[in-house]
Amino acid sequence: MADKKSKQDTGLIATMAKQYNLDAPTFKATIMAAAVGGGKTMDTLSLAQLLLVANEYNLNPVTKEIYAFPSRNGLQPLVGIDGWIKLANRHPEFDGIQTEVVNDKDGKMIGMTASVWRKDRSHPVVETEYLSECRKNTDLWKRMPNRMMKHRAKAQAIRTAFGFAGIYLPDEFDTDEKVVDAVVINQEVKGAEAMKQKLINKGEANDAETRSAAEVN
């Protein structure tokens, strides 16, 4: 049984590697290097889980549209803001997204509201996320709380509007905050830059239409 599962995992890696015109060992090494932060090691099962979700939603794990995030409960396949925007833009009923800051009586930002419009509905799907519930003790959240809240609200609204299942946000897990910034900032992976650029170029060629309406910032 274990041998059969191992062969299935290997077959998945080979299949996805072919999509990027790479051999399986190179693809596997690049994904493992790019997806994992904080010196964590990704085992074959975690890699297979990541690639299964990436393949199902056609998300690029090298550009961190989807990535393996080290949490205290193990590695979790999570979707970054670029991935959520891509999923929305690709949906045939997507008709726009808008965010609005929620301030307290003193004008201080306490939350962010995101509204997603669908062509087949008369009212937008609205989600509000609150800073007190989402904020992490990391450099990014300290320096750019508005931007991080905007990303959080957008992702939640997109997921609710289109019912995407089985994919999550980093904030939904008990994460190791020491590696949050390293993953979210999308730092370059030493020794994999050339291969990474090749995958990025291919991904952009395949999905050029999905990025035109993205409001990432």
**126-154 confidence digits (pLDDT tens):** 999 999 999 888 888 899 999 999 999 99
Tell me the pLDDT band of 121, cut-offs 50, 70 and 90: very high
Please tell me the distance from the alpha carbon of residue 145 to that of residue 164, in angstroms, as a whole number.
26
Please tell me the distance from the alpha carbon of residue 43 to that of residue 200, in angstroms, as a whole number.
24
Please tell me the distance from the alpha carbon of residue 175 to that of residue 191, in angstroms, as a whole number.
26
Residue 95 main-chain phi, psi, to 5 deg = -135, 20
- In Å, how far are 86, 89, 112, 170, 193 from 187, measured between CA atoms? 20, 25, 26, 17, 11
Map tokens 């509007």 to a residue: 161
Tokens of 54: 């990436």
Tell me the pLDDT band of 181, cut-offs 50, 70 and 90: very low
Of 30-44, 90-104, 112-126, 160-174, where does mean pLDDT reach its minimum?
A: 30-44
Please list, in sequence order, all residues whose beta carbon lies within 8 angstroms of the beta carbon of residue 2, skipping any fewer than 6 positions away.
none
3-state helix, strand, coil in the chain (%, to 5): 50, 20, 30
Give the residue extent of every domain in the chain.
2-79+169-208, 86-162
pLDDT at res. 63: 76
Report the sign of the C-alpha dihedral through residues 51, 54, 59, 61, in that order.
negative
Q: Is the pTM of this model over 0.85?
A: no
Q: What dihedral angle (degrees, nearest 10) is formed by the CA atoms of 141, 143, 146, 149?
A: -10
pLDDT at 216 over 70: no
Please tell me the distance from the alpha carbon of residue 131 to that of residue 171, in angstroms, as a whole number.
12
